Structure 1
Amino acid sequence: MKKSYSILILVQFLCFSLSLGGDTISVNVSVSSGQTIMSSGGNFELGFFRPGDSRSYYIGIWYKKLYPQEVVWVANRDKPLDSADANLIISRGNLVLVDRLQNSIWSALAGNINPNISVTALLRDDGNLILNDVSKASMPLLLWQSFDYPTHTFLPGAKIGYDKRTQRKQLLISWKNLSDPAPGLYSMEMDPTRAQIVVKWNRTREYWASGSWDGRTFSLVPEMRTNYIYNFSYIDNENESYFTYSLNNSSLTSKWMMDVSGLIKQQVWFYGNIDWNL
């Protein structure tokens, strides 16, 4: 009996060491190797991972409830870590990934940063990681969000767009290969001049276009008219142009992914499934 009790305590300790038990990173809570934070509803998890047979480490977000692991966002996709001895921390008003020598590998904010403000990073249940200024507890101010910097996956509520003020694009870029999330050869982006989505090779050569938005669908994607799962929207105003979507059924899990082969895959995971439906 004593031996069984000791094993139970060991298992509980290991489980505790693998999870921080919350959805927020703060000055007092950081994420190191083997630790994660999880969104409040348990849909997404953030932590360190190694893709495929890679020996490098990355900070990413993946579906918590689906197996095998499906990563939807990577922070340091072009700056891999050669060691798991690293930390994702709040430092001087910013969210920063530091290696074992405390060198900054990746940070959410660039440019002028106010080191005197109080910030927290929150992983939401839609998969969006947000950095808030919480100096005024009653009025948190959004400073940065991962939805503005997608990697290869387009989640409901995110945007594929173009900011007319900054000329910055929100686009999908494929992984280099299944073991390397570095930017690959294929991209999916907005062409605001023609109100359409385009897919490019090497960010220069267009090889597919959706056709212009007609108020309900993109003209060359007639399948959009027969869908019963999604609500599609195209917004064009003085500040930005973007395409976004939401789900009619909140119990479904869905994503668009820019595959390493250059294919855009629109996939749904129905409750009780063991794999994605294409």
Structure 2
Amino acid sequence: MIHISLAADTITINQSLSGDQTIVSEHGVFELGFFKPGNNSNYYIGIWYYKQVVSVQTIVWVANRERSISDRFSSVLTMSDGNLVLFNESKSPVWSTNLSSTTLGSVKAVLLDDGNLVLRAGSSSSQPLWQSFDHPAHTWLPGSKLGFNNVTKQTQMLTSWKNAENPAPGPFSLQLDPNGSNSLIIWLNYLNLSEQYWSSENTRWNYFE
């Protein structure tokens, strides 16, 4: 597969991604674009380590986990009304950053060297309008968070893939104990029921300087 990089880390109002186009973080650590896991015939928008960092494509974040697309060349990831939006081959939105109000026209999406995809207003370096670190998928990257987001009122947790070829949410999830014990808990979710599978509460941790 040939990847065509835009030689930039940013998607602005006048840019979009389609087909094999990608963006790469400033110092070449992470890459974002369309990918197809294994023999799956569907495509997803994801972030992976750049090939000079990890030679085998290693996905760390997926945007449209539950709504794949079938044709990456007629689908597009673009800025629309101040949001980063993925439109499928029928030009219907299948994923969005879903911000209710933004500074239209000046918002851009930037892929950072820590693997965080952020929306920023103009050249402002202040708190991002939206960031993928607030919406973790299955990988916990340094700097990302697990917990409860008081702004979005969402629990930030990791959720496994269904299987190696399907990034839709699978049966296992990892989160901080909602009861405030600061322990990590793995839940097994099946038949609309959740059962505690593992807890770090009784696990001894070794810390190294």
What TM-score, normalized to structure 1? Answer: 0.68
The higher relative CO (CA closer than 8 Å, separation ≥ 6) is in: 2
**Could you tell me how far apart the structure 1 residues matched to 2:105 and 2:43 are?**
30
- The residue that corresponds to 1:40 in the other structure is 26
| Offset of residue 82 of structure 1 | 1.3
Conservation of the 8 A alpha-carbon contact between 1:133 and 1:141: no
**Could you tell me how far apart the structure 2 residues matched to 1:80 and 1:99 are?**
9
Gaps of 5+ in 2: none
When residues 147 and 29 of structure 1 are mapped into structure 2, their CA distance, relative to the original with a 3 A threshold, is same
Conservation of the 8 A alpha-carbon contact between 2:103 and 2:121: no
Q: How many residues are aligned here? A: 202
Conservation of the 8 A alpha-carbon contact between 2:70 and 2:89: no
Q: 1:154 aligns with which of 135, 140, 154?
A: 140
Gaps of 5+ in 1: 1-13, 212-219, 229-278
After TM superposition, list the pairs within 5 Å mapping 1:254-273 onto structure 2: none
| Offset of residue 117 of structure 1 | 4.7
**Could you tell me how far apart the structure 1 residues matched to 2:128 and 2:135 are?**
14
| Offset of residue 166 of structure 1 | 5.0
Q: Does 1:104 align with 2:90?
A: no
- The residue that corresponds to 2:108 in the other structure is 120
State the secondary structure of the residue aligned to 2:79: strand
Q: Does 1:222 align with 2:204?
A: yes
Q: What is the CA deviation profile of residues 211-242 of structure 1, one whole-angstrom value per residue up to 9, with x for unaligned ones? A: 1xxxxxxxx332333x34xxxxxxxxxxxxxx
How well do the aligned residues superpose, as a CA RMSD in angstroms? 2.0
Conservation of the 8 A alpha-carbon contact between 1:49 and 1:60: yes
- The residue that corresponds to 2:39 in the other structure is 53
Conservation of the 8 A alpha-carbon contact between 2:66 and 2:169: yes
- The residue that corresponds to 1:83 in the other structure is 71
**Displacement over 2 Å in runs of 4+:** 112-117, 137-141, 163-167, 220-225
Matched to 1:189, the amino acid is Q
**Could you tell me how far apart the structure 1 residues matched to 2:40 and 2:158 are?**
22
Higher-Rg structure is 1
Q: Does 1:71 align with 2:59?
A: yes
Conservation of the 8 A alpha-carbon contact between 1:61 and 1:72: yes
- The residue that corresponds to 1:92 in the other structure is 81
Matched to 2:196, the amino acid is E
State the secondary structure of the residue aligned to 1:222: coil
Q: If each structure's helix is expressed as a fraction of its own residues, which one has the higher value? A: 1
When residues 103 and 60 of structure 1 are mapped into structure 2, their CA distance, relative to the original with a 3 A threshold, is same
- The residue that corresponds to 1:196 in the other structure is 183
| Offset of residue 163 of structure 1 | 2.8
State the secondary structure of the residue aligned to 1:223: coil
State the secondary structure of the residue aligned to 2:115: coil
State the secondary structure of the residue aligned to 1:132: strand
After TM superposition, list the pairs within 5 Å mapping 1:221-240 onto structure 2: 221-225=203-207, 227-228=208-209
Matched to 2:62, the amino acid is V
Q: What is the CA deviation profile of residues 180-229 of structure 1, one whole-angstrom value per residue up to 9, with x for unaligned ones? A: 00000000011132221100000711011111xxxxxxxx332333x34x
**Could you tell me how far apart the structure 2 residues matched to 1:170 and 1:106 are?**
18
Q: What is the CA deviation profile of residues 228-259 of structure 1, one whole-angstrom value per residue up to 9, with x for unaligned ones? A: 4xxxxxxxxxxxxxxxxxxxxxxxxxxxxxxx
When residues 153 and 138 of structure 1 are mapped into structure 2, their CA distance, relative to the original with a 3 A threshold, is closer
Matched to 1:153, the amino acid is T
